[in-house]
Amino acid sequence: MIDQRLLRTDLDGVKAALLRRNRPAVIDDVAHAARLDARLRDIQAERDDIRARVNSISKEVGQLHRNGKSDEAQALQAESKDLGGTESVLAGEYEEVSAALRDRLLGIPNLPHAAAPDGVSEDDNPVVTGPIAHHSTYPEWQRVPHWETAVELGILDNERAAKISGSMFTMQRGAGATLARALCQFGLDQNADAHEEVRPPSLVSTATLTATGQLPKFADDAYAIERDDLWASPTAEAPLTSIYANEVLDDTELPIRLMAHSSSYRREAGSAGRDTRGMLRSHEFDKVEMMAYAAPEQAPGLLDDMVQRSERVIAALQLPYRVIEICTGDMGQSHHRSFDVEVYAPGADAWLEVSSVSWLGDYQARRANIRFRRHDENGKLIKGSEFAHTLNGSALAVPRVWAAIIENYRNEDGSVTVPDVLHPYMRGITRITVD
């Protein structure tokens, strides 16, 4: 969440920053949060005054008893009791207002970076790199949608996946399943030089999804296991971000860089009929995620590095791609600054997002209470702590990369050539053909 202190020190600046997101209703939320914060401070001031008066009365009562003035002492004790009742009422109001303020803050999006491009929707996202290896024309055999080619080759069986689990689930078979697994291992290997591999749980708590910003805003898109207060993880970003929740790190540990291959689960609420054929949109998919904890000054360099890593993976697969920067109007709830890597799929005649890399500032760390302590130039710990910054990015999301390979590497005879860099992971399969 945003820094609550900004509601007091720079309310106009917060409103101006959030107006760039093209969501006017958020300004009402900010104003309401500022009123709640002001009331909290008023309550606290009243409680402090009452406590000071009660302490003063306690001393006066003792002196009066010593001076034999019991009647006056009893009157003051009655006043103290009344003040205690008032303080108790204020304490209850404080808890209510504090909870209301937290709920309001959880719904307010992150402040966009000053350098993030302004815009209203995805149509305003500027291309910052590329297109690379993109051709003006493609042969007809590459203009075939991947779902048609995959069914002909027997490597995609969504019909039986639907029989097993329902609509919008996919199932790769044979060389198709091998290709999906190969992509995951390739994505991990490409980032193992800098990122520690983690295999996190697939089920996460409400607190974990709240920390990353999926809750409460995106509850309708998540799979809930209500009996156990658990959720199917929508992305490995969620568990990776909460590894150090409620901990204080040391600046000598930073940056901490992690990666994970996991399955991701999303209801895709509201997406019925949109990109639901083949592998483009599904309820369950595999992904390799990168994540980093950093000091604020380390974050910009890490953002650049993670974007370059995502770009290099796609370049190594020799797929046509471009990098776009996400404008303020298209930015995610938690994002401070974001870039997407997109591949071109000639069969779908579309640019497909295959990686999203984001700097979250201290937005997630505030929700998860992840802090770090600094050392001075002499190596001595500095008193106090500050919130860490977090970054995350898809190193490789399987479904759309898989689809782009099937379309871009389709041959005139209907077979699909496996990209060279995946050969070591394919158990000898270099060309996918009809058995």
- Give tens-digit pLDDT for 307-316: 999 999 999 9
At residue 349's C-alpha, the angle toward residues 346 and 354, to 5°, is: 80
- Distances in Å between the Cα of 116 and the Cα atoms of 297, 319, 329, 332 are 17, 27, 10, 12
Q: Residue range 128-148: average pLDDT?
A: 95
- The token duo for 425 is 């992971």
d(CA 394, CA 259): 9
Cis peptide before 131 (omega within 30 of 0): yes
- Identify which has the larger pLDDT, 1 or 183: 183
Sheet order of strands, 248-250 included: 248-250, 371-373, 386-387
Q: Is pLDDT at 271 greater than 70 in this prediction?
A: no
pLDDT tens by residue, 42-54: 999 999 999 999 8
Give the position of tokens 């069914």.
151
If you average pLDDT over every residue of the chain, what do you get?
94
Question: In sequence order, what are the residues at sequence separation of 6 or more whose Cβ sits closer than 8 angstroms to the Cβ of residue 169?
Answer: 158, 161, 162, 282, 283, 284
Q: Is pLDDT at 274 greater than 60 in this prediction?
A: no
Using DSSP, state whether 355 is helix, strand or coil. strand
Reported confidence tier of residue 92, pLDDT bands at 50, 70, 90: very high
pLDDT tens by residue, 223-253: 999 999 999 999 999 999 999 999 999 999 9
Reported confidence tier of residue 287, pLDDT bands at 50, 70, 90: very high
Phi-psi group of 351: left, alpha or beta (phi > 0 → left; psi -120 to 50 → alpha; rest → beta): beta
d(CA 397, CA 353): 9
pLDDT tens by residue, 320-339: 999 999 999 999 999 999 99
User: What's the confidence (pLDDT) of residue 272?
Assistant: 53
User: What's the confidence (pLDDT) of residue 70?
Assistant: 81
Beta strands in 122-241 (DSSP E): 127-132, 196-197, 203-205, 223-225, 230-232
pLDDT tens by residue, 147-187: 999 999 999 999 999 999 999 999 999 999 999 999 999 99
Q: Is pLDDT at 372 greater than 70 in this prediction?
A: yes
d(CA 6, CA 12): 9
- The token duo for 258 is 């992690």
pTM score of the predicted model: 0.91
350-359 and 337-345 strand pairing: antiparallel
Are the C-beta atoms of residues 269 and 221 closer than 8 Å to each other? yes
Reported confidence tier of residue 216, pLDDT bands at 50, 70, 90: confident
Q: Is pLDDT at 190 greater than 80 in this prediction?
A: yes
Are the C-beta atoms of residues 353 and 400 closer than 8 Å to each other? yes
User: What's the confidence (pLDDT) of residue 162?
Assistant: 94
